[in-house]
Chain A
């Protein structure tokens, strides 16, 4: 059991062993870390191979098998084996994704349940749970390879993932027992791997066509700062669609020849998809190949030429141009001024894709010398090291929010509050006014997307503001602040303007799991759950307390001149209380004492921050708070 490492004595600065980067891909997942020479390297997860298929197979007892062993079960167990679960992250039961060609069996939609679930033989599992299995297995194999615990990770997501998809990914990480240091956008991760490698400077495009998602990002690199200028994409377009296009053509041809419709037979669909995938790989180098579709009673061979394949996928590849054009325009960059184009994702091996990329970006030969399958995990590992405070490179990533956030106004029209491609973290406030006499509550509907009508955007959350004092219409005013953190995830706080009463609302996406559900799953997934969780909480609280004390000691020595009369004594008192609490085994008491120490030293911390800022602004050497 992976949690058994919890009671080891660890350096409070790195409470979770080796920080890793995890590329949780549609078709494959990878784990990377930074080695002693400071180089990002991927870890073998499947024997020699560094790519672990993102496939989960559920056994009869409900337990899961992940990776190649699960993939091997696909032909015989199409219902209890889930590939490409990433496509379903943050999706509802009525999402178009659920109706595409595939062999999944979905649980009947439950009234009030906003999450799609797979029926894997008597058990219903959400995409978050399936993804958590992939992460758990990846983590376990990484731990075995590194021979040390792995607990803190940067997990990559497509840049174009919306809030619900990001929350689902973060939940999956939590459910797998990982501390998610950051959700990092895949193209940004790739840029980090390339940029640091080459000490590059200039404007770069990252064209990332993976198994199920497409992203394009435009970045400017200056002195270790990676500033994302714009990003665009399509979160349901990828190599899987190439397979599906070819498989559909194969099934049609074979159905005609055999005189029976195979498109509804999950075994045949699965066999056609597998044959299509192999044929696609073969056509990267060969001009023609044979797709062998292994039906139950016979294997049918169909010859496929590269030309035929390219004509089947041409429309899909062309679709990526829409996002490229938008990204270029939002970044206000002329294709002629691009210094390099980086190719990421296995699907960029398809020759038609390469030709197409060259064409849209002014004939420039794209860079692909870091393995396009591994580059994202490598970048994520570098960022994980950076966040754990161990990186030597002076690296900083400034990323953006991919889709605008807005609220519903009269007539179902969207009012945008935070525009797409705004640098994160960011926040914006909006004042809402009551429209009826004596109105004491207000409903707010948050959406994400670029279209004008609410019905064309993605519904993120609905919430109700209550406790507005009764007043004539238009007099009640509530200021709502929308904040997007560095993971690209939204939180909302509201302040009633006449009384000044403030409240923070946790926005959970309409198509996500609730916090309670995640907690319960977390408990269910642990053996001896309650005891383990209690120990874990205590250990974590102590580690956090150690860290706070350590930081504070250092700050007090460095900035003794900033203390006001009596302040040192107040801080010392809170420090003592915390040390006393740490002797006990009540994690809540420790957390409370940390909180009180935090409050006692808040003014001091503010003065330190202001001094550092002041030094930065007056152009003196930036003396970092160490």
Chain B
């Protein structure tokens, strides 16, 4: 599998020019999308399709800072897995997560959406901080710290996604 940065032709690194990335994605799509090759020979159609799939995959990874970070780290031998790797977490963080989870369970049992919203807001603020720390870690080539921040963000995302699932349930109950 070719390298995502090479596929999109942008410099490797955590910091990237998002506008340039989007621009490049659109250019490549114009060149490769099956709609552009509807009237071509089977060989060209097949080739373009393969490349378009690679481009879509690369873009999906690189446009999202957390996926991008995980990709860079995995290329340097860090095993992060899709759901996060607890061994990279700073001491104390898991304890914190467990406390937040317990508070969420309580609030959920009491059907207290306001308290849940507060917990979610706190998690979002913490995520913002972790994202900044992630960039800073890449800037000073501190892979260990970057891996830790990716793991933190993934834990927070998993919590936030559970909160959203619950909020959706409530919303769907209200909206039949």
- Chain A interfacial positions (CB closer than 8 Å to B): 13, 181-182, 222-223, 225, 315-316, 318-319, 321-322, 325-326, 329, 383, 386-389, 394, 396-398, 422-427, 483, 485-486, 547-548, 551-552, 594, 598-599, 601-602, 605-606, 608-609, 612-613, 616-618, 622, 624-625
Contacts and interface: CB of A to CB of B under 8 A. Distances in A.
Nearest 10 pairs between A and B by C-beta?
A617-B9, A605-B43, A315-B176, A486-B34, A387-B38, A318-B175, A609-B47, A423-B56, A602-B43, A389-B39
Given A425-B52, A427-B53, A326 B168 contact: yes
B48 A609 contact: yes
A396 B33 CA distance: 8
Nearest to A548: B41
Contacts of B171: 321-322, 325
Given A598-B42, A598-B43, A322 B172 contact: yes
A613 B28 contact: yes
A223 B23 CA distance: 10
Contacts of A383: 35
Interface string B29-53: 1111111101111111001110111
A531 B12 CA distance: 60
A491 B106 CA distance: 45
Nearest to A602: B43
B172 to A, nearest CB: 5
B39 A13 contact: yes
B29 A398 contact: yes
Nearest to B35: A387
A223 B27 CA distance: 11
Contacts of B15: none
A176 B38 CA distance: 21
Interface centre among A181, A315, A598 (most CB of B within 10 A): A598
Contacts of A316: 176
Interface string B165-176: 000100110011
B128 to A, nearest CB: 14
Interface in B14-32: 22, 24, 26-32
B57 interface: yes
12 contacts: A319-B176, A322-B175, A326-B168, A394-B30, A422-B60, A425-B52, A425-B56, A606-B43, A612-B31, A613-B51, A617-B24, A622-B30
Interface string B50-71: 0111001101100000000000
A423 B24 CA distance: 16
Given A13-B39, A423-B60, A225 B26 contact: yes
B29 A396 contact: yes
Contacts of B22: 222
Nearest to A326: B168
Contacts of B144: none
Contacts of A551: 40-41, 44
B29 A225 contact: yes
Contacts of A625: 40, 44
Contact of A622 (B31, B33, B47, B172): B31
A605 B44 contact: yes
A586 to B, nearest CB: 20
Contacts of B35: 182, 383, 386-387, 396-397, 486
B164 interface: yes
Contacts of B30: 225, 394, 396, 622
Given A389-B39, A616-B31, A622-B27, A319 B175 contact: yes
Nearest to A552: B41
A223 B9 contact: no
Contacts of A387: 35, 38
Contact of A388 (B9, B39, B53): B39
Given A222-B26, A321-B175, A426-B56, A486 B33 contact: yes
Nearest to B40: A551
Contacts of B49: 425, 485
Contacts of B59: 423
A121 to B, nearest CB: 38
A123 B48 CA distance: 45
Contacts of B33: 396, 398, 486
Contact of B44 (A322, A427, A609): A609
A181 B172 contact: no
Contacts of B32: 613
Contacts of B56: 422-426
Given A396-B29, A425-B56, A605-B47, A329 B164 contact: yes
Given A13-B39, A181-B38, A616-B28, A425 B44 contact: no
